[in-house]
Chain A
Amino acid sequence: MTQGGSRDSRDWGRRVLTPSRRRTIFALTEALFCTEDDRGLVPPSREFCDRVVEEFDLLIGAGSSDLRRGYRVLAFLIEWLPLFFIGALSRASRLPLARRLAFLDRLEHARIGLLATLLVAFKLPLTIIAFERPPELRLTGFDRETLASRRIVAGVGRT
């Protein structure tokens, strides 16, 4: 087993993100999954973010060259949109956590649907990855060991 789950010859394990794109995804992960306490926002652990970025890289890597090109463009856009969207003279990955969160929140609430879609293009896969494994899986209240565990029901089985 590796971070991405079981591997065999049918899983090529192709990674396609450049270091700068990994930084973008890492920064998005930090903002999307931060929590808060009395002192303010708390970013998730570095290990958690690394795992999410790694699995996102594998996911994109499993797609076609068209998909990979598409995500390169989307990552570029989300990285540079703060300048035009919240007037911040900074790339998204260099914004302080609170500003980054505010940026993503503004994107999600954009009246122009395509801007909201840009956020969703990252939020969807990153959230699926983030909450797939414990301890985050436990936060959903899911009560089986893993998402691939069978439900045990007495008296129900194959004919």
Chain B
Amino acid sequence: MSARELVSDSAVVVGRELADGFEETCDVVVVGSGAGGAVMAAILAEAGQRVIVLEEGPYYTPDEYGAFQPTESFRRIWREAGMLAVFGVGQTPVIGLSAGRCVGGSSVLTGGVCFRIPSHVHDHWVRELGLVDLSEKSLERAYLDVERKIRVAEVPVSMRSASTDKFVRGAEHLGIPIYPTRRNMDGCVGNARCNFGCPSGAKMSVDVSYLPDALRRGARVISDALVERITIERGRATGVSGRVLNGPEGRPSLPFRIHSRTVVATCGTLHTPILLMRSGIGRATPALGRNVTLHPALRVSALFDEALSGWNGALQSVYTDHFADEGITLVGVYSPVNVLAATLPGVGPSHRRLIAEMPRHGVFGAMVHDEGGGAVRLGPGREPILSYRMAPRDLVSLRRSITILAEMAFAGGAREVYLPIFGLGPIKSVTEVRNLEVAPMDARRIECVAFHPLGSARMATDAKRGVVDPNGETYEVKDLYVADGSILPTSIGVNSQVPIMTMATRLAWRLAERLSQAGPKARAE
């Protein structure tokens, strides 16, 4: 079987079609099927462990989600129908947050950009935080393994859209070096809607890369299975319990229970801490749910003289780390036209006039390598509440990034620039945008999004500063591991897909070794 063979319908147990609850026994139960969970499942299954993966979201094949209109995609495979928001505290914008809720998790919704963790971040983790196992060198083998399996390759120049080209030319005029991104694609034709599911099935998300491997090696994936609690006996995790989402209108209904020797939580930065808190964990690890970083991001749109039809090309084909010292990474970006239309200023006729100019619009984005300031808390319902207080330095970087993008647009020949500031009309000169950068302004007028929540169950060398140890095992409960974005010790300043998968790979290798050393007698009966 080839690496890109799709997960077959028969291989995934579709929870909402079950007539009864269930009780199962396995070696390892993995909660979540995204970038962390799929990697853990594949490697542990390969090592001979009996693995069950439980995914809260539904299962769709790539052919199915690739045919979704954007709103169908929101409704079916995005968490909170694409309207997940982070509550800004103080001078902080309200931040729209992207997260997947389906078999494959957020990897189905990424733009496919693949970065390794920058060297200076690795160095910080090793030297300042004492996490000696997280050096660039010690993760090299895991990086290579991930990049091979998800087919990471440089985006060719031919896949750049005319929209991206305009900003690249502007950057060249300003002396800003631009580099091609690397992405996990096979057969990308530049549909520019990766975030809503690839119509060409080109994105090597984990549902087409790692999960088929896991299934072939005997792992079982169950969709629509909401884990509510980790079972803990005498300080050890012994399984999970929850309910299948097949009640009226998808409400929790049939109960299930899994007995296992090891539990791996990979529900992501928002839901892993919630699952742990609901299971009574957190008293001895005060960092649980805290220190969340987001990489706050924005995009600037610019009107050029000629038609660009920016939807023809790879969604994200170039980047620059030229402003890394200021905590800024710039990345080329585009989105479906109706999504871009929604971000243009105006209401009624004035808004419609701008939408009619859409073919002449170019777009480019920026994200900030933030200090953190986010917290995940239990909400009144099933979903967590995420708040975020933006550090003053990060707000400065965010506003600075707007100026840089506008300057690139003007240098590339833009006639007008539309900034991500609510109620602001077209900007017609560099002077205007520079003045705006230093003018007093309510930060909540900045339109801000985030795609990489990290750090709510961070790895550290002791329980006072972190939730998991360098092996990914929680300090409070033995045999309970975390292997998703929540364990990253700090913000990384780049897209988090490959870093999460690489960390999960390293943890899975170690766990496989540990479980095999413990021997079959220790297996859950």
Interface residues of A (CB under 8 A from B): 4-6, 9-12, 14, 31-36, 41, 55, 58-67, 69, 101, 104-105, 108-114, 116-117, 119-120, 123-125, 127-133, 137, 139-144, 146-153, 156-159
Contacts and interface: CB of A to CB of B under 8 A. Distances in A.
Given A64-B80, A128-B342, A158-B202, A120 B422 contact: yes
Contacts of A143: 309
B199 A148 contact: yes
B2 to A, nearest CB: 10
A117 B446 CA distance: 9
Contacts of B186: 158-159
Given A11-B75, A127-B342, A150-B189, A113 B81 contact: no
B337 A127 contact: no
B94 A117 contact: yes
A152 to B, nearest CB: 8
Contacts of B355: 131, 139-140
Contacts of B336: 147
Contacts of A63: 80-81, 83
Given A108-B423, A148-B66, A158-B186, A10 B60 contact: yes
A31 to B, nearest CB: 6
Nearest to A28: B347
A47 to B, nearest CB: 18
A32 B76 contact: no
Given A6-B72, A147-B69, A32 B347 contact: yes
Contact of B422 (A34, A117, A137): A117
Interface stretch (B124-132, B210-218, B374-382): B374-382
Interface of B: 4, 16-17, 58-60, 66-72, 74-76, 80-83, 93-94, 158, 186-193, 196, 199-200, 202, 249-250, 307, 309, 311-312, 336-339, 341-343, 345-349, 351-352, 355-356, 358-359, 379-383, 422-423, 442-447
A85 B82 CA distance: 29
Nearest to B72: A5
B130 to A, nearest CB: 38
A66 B337 contact: no
Given A110-B423, A127-B341, A133-B69, A10 B76 contact: yes
Nearest to A149: B199
A67 B83 contact: yes
Nearest to A124: B342
A75 B69 CA distance: 25
Contact of B17 (A9, A11, A12): A9
B249 to A, nearest CB: 5
A11 B444 CA distance: 34
A31 B347 contact: yes
A67 B383 contact: yes
Given A105-B347, A120-B447, 16 more contacts: A4-B75, A9-B17, A10-B16, A10-B59, A62-B76, A66-B382, A123-B347, A128-B338, A137-B337, A142-B311, A143-B309, A150-B191, A150-B199, A156-B158, A156-B190, A158-B186
B309 A113 contact: no
Contact of B83 (A125, A130, A133, A140): A125
A111 B68 contact: no
A92 B356 CA distance: 27
A69 B382 CA distance: 13
26 contacts: A6-B67, A9-B17, A11-B75, A11-B76, A12-B249, A31-B348, A63-B83, A66-B381, A104-B348, A109-B422, A113-B442, A116-B422, A117-B444, A123-B347, A128-B342, A140-B341, A140-B355, A140-B356, A142-B311, A147-B193, A150-B189, A152-B189, A156-B158, A157-B187, A158-B186, A159-B186
